[in-house]
Structure 1
């Protein structure tokens, strides 16, 4: 059965670094797996954003 170089590399890496997958899951949860925001919280965040100019170096408004 064919196994690509990439697959071999990943398997070897997992053997050399036990617990790597658990650390990946923990890292993902820090950035992506968050509780959903309520509608009120979403509205507050949207209203508190400052509008950015199309060209940031423009001096006239």
Structure 2
């Protein structure tokens, strides 16, 4: 059994980053822009407190009329 399996996608990415090492830094910068954000706990608390409860079976509301 071959325990050293590597998918084609993994091989492609490994080769791409070897050929173009600057992509790793660009990837980190892009991730920081969109994903790696600190959560403002006060805003999160306010958001959760102001949420309006949803009725159950909202998609079948027309059945009750």
- For Structure 1 versus Structure 2, the TM-score category normalised by the shorter chain is 0.5 to 0.7
| Structure 2 unpaired stretches of 5+ | none
The equivalent residue for 1:34 is: 37
- The answer to whether the aligner puts 1:48 opposite 2:50 as a matched pair is yes
| Structure 1 unpaired stretches of 5+ | none
CA RMSD of aligned residues (A): 2.7
The equivalent residue for 2:14 is: 11
TM-score when scaled to structure 1? 0.53
TM-score when scaled to structure 2? 0.52
- After TM superposition, give the deviation of residue 5 of structure 1 in Å: 4.8
By percentage of residues, which structure has more helix? 2
Q: How many correspondences in the alignment?
A: 57
